[in-house]
């Protein structure tokens, strides 16, 4: 993404802080989403979140005095990013969160790493991962399988929510790689603001088609998770992600897909009483090992 600075000129401290925001803020967003969609219809919940966050980001862009209006080509990029990252990815995960525990939705999102690394091998800024990096991805993916326990869900005949979450992961991977390869000089705040605003409108239209307005009822205990998602997960998290996308390799960026589920699992256990089986605990160790191997390989590369 041109105009955001070359990929190797960012201070290490800022990169560490940006990754910390991705790991902690996005990791906790699964819990907030799970609580929120138990009270409000999922697509309109997402619409409210992203339209609000998008307007806040654009207001910040205007206050900062940066360029607000995209050019024709940039509008096309924004529509692709909104469709893949918000309507498909967030829409699918919001719907799945009605039926699955927050830790399970988060763990399913580890498959983003596989798709990001695979798709990151193509495009103008292709970066082919080393064998060591692929070994880390393989370890993390194997851990994800144990964490998900698909045989248990298949026996209950309840794989549709899991499949929906996995489809959402592919959408987010497309968003990640497309954003890395596209050429734009839009400031980060403007880029993220328009993405979220367009994506939120698309989610709202989808929610209207599903008949969700009839089920929307404001409740005070639904406002807290919604507010957190607007300010922290959307404004802070997405800004960190867009800032990191052109400054790191796809393999390194994809590690958030491993760390977020671990954060979500701990919070789900502490706050909602969600527990992990013995197989899932083993899977957690494999995921951590995969993250360590992937990061080591990225530093060596």
pLDDT of residue 283: 82
- Measured CA to CA, the distance from residue 44 to residue 210 in angstroms comes to 10
Is it the case that residue 266 has pLDDT exceeding 70? yes
**Per-residue confidence at 206, pLDDT binned at 50, 70, 90?**
very high
Tokens of 6: 């070359």
Tokens of 179: 């954003």
Q: Return the DSSP state at 212.
A: G
The pTM (predicted TM-score) of the whole model is 0.82
pLDDT of residue 126: 62
Q: Return the DSSP state at 182.
A: -
**Per-residue confidence at 7, pLDDT binned at 50, 70, 90?**
very low
Place of tokens 């967030």: 90
If you average pLDDT over residues 193-205, what whole number do you get?
Answer: 96
pLDDT of residue 278: 84
- For 162-191, what is each residue's pLDDT tens digit? 889 889 989 988 888 888 778 778 888 899
pLDDT of residue 30: 94
- Measured CA to CA, the distance from residue 141 to residue 116 in angstroms comes to 13
Q: Which residue has the higher pLDDT, 144 or 268?
A: 268
Percentage above 90 pLDDT, the chain: 34
Place of tokens 């929906």: 164
CB 227 within 8 A of CB 105: no
Among residues 24, 46, 156, 152, the alpha carbon closest in space to that of 96 is found at 46
If you average pLDDT over residues 32-59, what whole number do you get?
Answer: 94
- Among 53-57, 100-104, 153-157, 167-171, which stretch is predicted with the lowest mean pLDDT? 153-157
């Amino acid at each position: 993404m041109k105009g955001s600075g070359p990929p190797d000129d960012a201070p290490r401290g800022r990169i560490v802080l940006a990754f910390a925001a991705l790991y902690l803020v996005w990791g906790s967003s699964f819990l907030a989403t799970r609580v929120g969609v138990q009270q409000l219809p999922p697509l309109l919940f997402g619409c409210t979140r992203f339209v609000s966050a998008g307007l806040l980001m654009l207001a910040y862009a205007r206050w900062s005095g940066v360029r607000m209006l995209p050019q024709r080509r940039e509008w096309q990029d924004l529509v692709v990013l909104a469709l893949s990252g918000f309507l498909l990815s967030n829409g699918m995960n919001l719907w799945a969160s009605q039926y699955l525990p927050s830790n399970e939705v988060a763990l399913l999102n580890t498959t983003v790493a596989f798709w990001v690394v695979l798709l990151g091998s193509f495009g103008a800024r292709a970066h082919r991962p080393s064998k060591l990096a692929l070994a880390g991805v393989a370890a993390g993916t194997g851990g994800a399988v144990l964490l998900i326990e698909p045989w248990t869900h298949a026996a209950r005949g309840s794989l549709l929510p899991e499949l929906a979450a996995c489809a959402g992961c592919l959408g987010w991977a497309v968003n990640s790689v497309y954003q890395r390869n596209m050429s734009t000089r839009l400031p980060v705040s403007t880029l993220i603001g328009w993405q979220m605003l367009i994506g939120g409108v698309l989610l709202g239209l989808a929610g209207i088609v599903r008949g969700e307005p009839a089920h929307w009822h404001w409740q005070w205990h639904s406002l807290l998770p919604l507010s957190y998602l607007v300010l922290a997960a959307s404004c802070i998290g997405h800004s960190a992600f867009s800032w990191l996308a052109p400054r790191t390799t796809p393999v390194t960026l994809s590690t958030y897909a491993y760390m977020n589920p671990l954060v979500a699992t701990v919070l789900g256990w502490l706050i909602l009483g969600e527990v992990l089986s013995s197989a899932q605990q083993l899977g957690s160790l494999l995921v951590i090992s995969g993250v360590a191997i992937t990061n080591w390989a990225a530093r060596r590369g």
